[in-house]
Structure 1
Amino acid sequence: MVVDDSAVARALALRWLSEEPGIDVVAEAETGRVALALVARAAPDVIVLDLDMPDMDGLTALPELLAARPGVAVLVVSTLTRRNAEISLHCLALGAADYVPKPSSRGDADALATFRSELVEKIRAVAGRGQKPDIVVPPRLAAPAAAAARPACLVVGASTGGPRAVMRLFSQLPASVLRRLPVVVVQHMPPIFTAVFAEHLAAIAGCEVREAEDGEAVRPGVIHVAPGGRHTGLVRRGADVFLHVHDGPPTNVCRPAVNVLFETAAAVYGPAALAVVLTGMGRDGLAGARSLAAAGAPVIVQDEATSTVWGMPGAIAREGLARAILPLDGIAPAICVFMEGGADD
C-alpha cells in the first residue's frame, strides 16, 4: 500500500512498482486517515508511508496502522531534512521497519533512479520477514577462552532495522565496558541522518557519541558514528589509532561500508578487535568478517528471529565466520563475556 498526499508521487510509485515482478500494489491513500480506513481490507504486507501529509501525517498514522495490521512492514519516506531525520528515527523507535530518503527534486533523474532502486530493494527485503529460512543456522556462543586477546576495540555494522537495534544494544552495554573500549559504528544512513542518529544514541548510551572525523584519535568511552556518504576506517600511527574518513568508491554499493571498517580494524587490532553485525540487507560486512576471522578476531552476529532483515548477519553466519549467533538482547552480555574471558593483550 502506497500512502502519500501527492498524486504525482503516488502515480510515480505505482508505475515503478507495477513494473516489478512479484510486487502488487493493493491500495493507495492520500492521507494516514484514508490508509487506516483501507488497511484491514487491503491487507498489505508492506506500507510505503510518507511523513508529510495533511489531516493525519505519517508519524500519527504509524502506530495505528501497526495496530490495525499486526506484522505489516512499514517503510517511511521523507526528504533529507533535519526535521524529517528526527521524525524518521522516531518512527523507527515506534516500529517502522526502515526509511527511504526522497529526492528533494523530481527533476533530478539520477536521484529519482536511486530512490526507485532503494525503494524496491527495501520493499523486497522487509516483505521477506517471517519467511521460513532455507538454511537453519542455530544460535551459539563460543567459550570465552576462545578469544585470543581481550578486545581493545568494538566495531559495529548495521543496515535495515539497524538504528533501533544499535540503540538497544548500547542501552544494554554497561558503562564500565564502554569506558574500556573505543567504539566505531557503521550504520547505512544518508548524510544529516547520521548526525541526528549520533545525538539519539548519546542519550541512550550514556557516553560521548559523535560523528567520526578524519584524523581523530579513537579513545575508550567514545562511540564514533560513520558520517553518511563517507567511509570510515582505522589507521595506526605509532602507538595510537586514528579514524580515516574518506570519499572512496562505494563498496557493495554502500558508503559508508561495514567492510571498510572491519578490514581496517583487522589490520590495526588483529585478534584484539571485536565485531558485531546487526540486522541489515545485503552482504556488506562479509569480506570484512573474513579478514577479522583470519586475524583471530571474534565476530558476533544477530540471529534471524530478532533481525528485521537477516541479510548481512546471515551471510556471515552461513560462511561459518561468526563466533556467536545471538538474539539482539544476548549480544551485550556476550560482549561482556569476551571482555572478561580473553587474555590480556
Structure 2
Amino acid sequence: MIKVFIVDDSALVRQVLTSCLDNHPGIRVIGQAADPLFALEKMRHDWPDVLVLDVEMPRMDGITFLRKIMAERPTPAIICSTLTESGAAITLDALSAGAVGVFTKAKLGLKESLHQMSGELIKQIEQAARAHPQTFTRAATPAPAPAASAAPAHQAAPAVDVFATTDQVVALGTSTGGTQALEFVLRQLQRDCPGIVIVQHMPEKFTAAFSQRLDSLCQIEVREACHMDRVRSGLALVAPGGKHMQLKRSGAQYFVEVLDGPPVNRHKPSVDVLFRSVAKHAGQNAMGMIMTGMGDDGARGLLSMREAGARTVAQDEASCVVFGMPKEALRMGAAEVVEPLSAFPRLIQLYGRQGADPRRGGMPR
C-alpha cells in the first residue's frame, strides 16, 4: 500500500485528487493540507511514501518546503503544476530541489481534467514510490581539464570556430531524477567540451524553461534544440518535449532533426530514437551515457551505439534516483563501464580530448 499525502491550497484539488486516488486498491491518501506548515505537522505522525505537492501556496511555498524535506528526510514528491511558462519555471525549481515527477493540471475545467488524468497521476505515484530521491552537491566551478591541455589561468577560453569539424558527440539520455543529474553534470563542463545532445523525458511546456535554466547556470551554452541546429563544441542541445530528436551528419558536421511521430517506448522524445541515430551517423565518434530513469527507454539504442563502435557508459545504482534505464542497458550488455554520476563531467571532458577512452584515468571497466 502506497501512502500519499496531498499538499495544495485548493480545496477542490485536494478533494478531487483524494477521490481519484482512494479508488485505487494500492494507494491510500493518509492526509491532506492547504499549506506546507500544516502538512509537516500532520506528516510527523504518519510519514507518507509519496508527496503530491503544489508550488504556489500561502505561508511557505512548495519549493522551500521540498528543500526542507529533502534535507531532513528525502521523500519522493510529485509536483502538481499548471502548464504555463511561468509555472514551468517554478516547477523546474522544484525538480531541481528533488521532486521526481510533474503532474499537470489545467486552469479551466479543473475537476474534469483531474478525473481524466487520474490514471497518469496513479502511474506517476507508483513510479515515485520506487524512487530514491537524492540531493546532489553541486560544484561551483567546472571540472578541471587534464593538465596536459590546461590553458594558462589568465587566458580566456578560446572562441568556438563555427566552421570547425565536430569530431566527437556526447549523447545523454535520462528520465526520473534527470533534471538534478543533468544540472550536476553540465554545470561542471568547460566551454571546450564536445557537442552534447540530450533527451530528458519532460512535457513539452517544460523543456524550453529547463534549457534556459541550465544555460543560466552553466559555462557552456544550453538550449532547446531547433530543427537543423548544428552540434558543436561547448553547446548542449535538449530535445523539445513532445518531439523526437535525431542526429544527422552533413559532410564533416553534425546537425539535429526535430520531428514529430508516435511515441517510442511510451515517450516523445525518446532516448532510443536519439541513440539509434547517433549510432548510425556518428558511430565511433560518439559517446553514449544512460542515466537515472524509470523503464527501459535508451537501453537498445545504447546497445546500437556500442555495436557501432561508440563509447558507452551507464550511471551506477547508488547515484540514481531510479536505476531502471541503466539497469536495463547493463542487462543487455550495452554499457562498457558503470560509473557514479560524480564521474560523468570528467568522462565527458576526457572524451573531448582526442576521443580519449573513458576507461582510463582510474575509471574501472
User: What TM-score results when the alignment is normalised by the length of structure 2?
Assistant: 0.81
Is 1:78 aligned to 2:81, yes or no?
Answer: yes
Instruction: Give the SS at the match of 1:172.
Output: coil
Is 1:153 aligned to 2:166, yes or no?
Answer: no
Counterpart of 1:30 in structure 2 is 34
Distance in 2, Cα, partners of 1:189 & 1:46: 20
Is 1:48 aligned to 2:52, yes or no?
Answer: yes
What is the CA deviation profile of residues 10-31 of structure 1, one whole-angstrom value per residue up to 9, with x for unaligned ones? 2222233223343222111122
Counterpart of 1:245 in structure 2 is 258
Counterpart of 1:91 in structure 2 is 94
Deviation, structure 1 residue 100 = 2.2
Counterpart of 1:332 in structure 2 is 345
Counterpart of 1:171 in structure 2 is 187
8 Å CA contact retained: 2:190, 2:234: no
Distance in 2, Cα, partners of 1:108 & 1:42: 28
Q: Structure 2 vs 1, CA of residues 271 and 109 (structure 1 numbering), >3 Å: closer, same or farther?
A: farther
Deviation, structure 1 residue 9 = 1.8
Distance in 2, Cα, partners of 1:225 & 1:130: 25
- Gapped runs of 5+ residues in structure 2? 134-165, 358-365
RMSD: 2.4
Q: Structure 2 vs 1, CA of residues 107 and 59 (structure 1 numbering), >3 Å: closer, same or farther?
A: closer
Counterpart of 2:151 in structure 1 is none
1:298-313 map, 5 Å = 298-313=311-326
Deviation, structure 1 residue 328 = 0.8
Q: Report 1 or 2 for greater relative contact order, CA contacts < 8 Å, sequence distance ≥ 6.
A: 1
8 Å CA contact retained: 1:52, 1:78: no
Q: Structure 2 vs 1, CA of residues 205 and 130 (structure 1 numbering), >3 Å: closer, same or farther?
A: closer
Distance in 1, Cα, partners of 2:114 & 2:39: 27
Counterpart of 1:217 in structure 2 is 230
8 Å CA contact retained: 1:234, 1:265: yes
Counterpart of 1:199 in structure 2 is 212
The sequence identity of aligned pairs, in percent, is 38
Residue identity opposite 1:12 in structure 2: V
Distance in 2, Cα, partners of 1:174 & 1:207: 6
Deviation, structure 1 residue 235 = 1.7
Counterpart of 1:129 in structure 2 is 131
From 6, 9, 22, the equivalent of 1:5 is 9
8 Å CA contact retained: 1:218, 1:241: yes
Distance in 1, Cα, partners of 2:111 & 2:74: 35
Q: Which moved more, 1:270-279 or 1:87-96?
A: 87-96
Deviation, structure 1 residue 67 = 4.8
Counterpart of 2:291 in structure 1 is 278
Q: Structure 2 vs 1, CA of residues 288 and 13 (structure 1 numbering), >3 Å: closer, same or farther?
A: same
Counterpart of 1:142 in structure 2 is none
Name whichever structure is richer in helix by fraction.
Answer: 1
Distance in 2, Cα, partners of 1:219 & 1:337: 16
Distance in 2, Cα, partners of 1:311 & 1:336: 26
What is the CA deviation profile of residues 68-117 of structure 1, one whole-angstrom value per residue up to 9, with x for unaligned ones? 5x13212211101122222112122223233222234436967854x433
Q: Which moved more, 1:230-239 or 1:150-159?
A: 150-159
Counterpart of 2:105 in structure 1 is 102
Number of aligned residue pairs = 321
Is 1:120 aligned to 2:122, yes or no?
Answer: yes
8 Å CA contact retained: 1:5, 1:31: yes
Residue identity opposite 2:109 in structure 1: R
User: What TM-score results when the alignment is normalised by the length of structure 1?
Assistant: 0.85
Distance in 1, Cα, partners of 2:227 & 2:22: 44
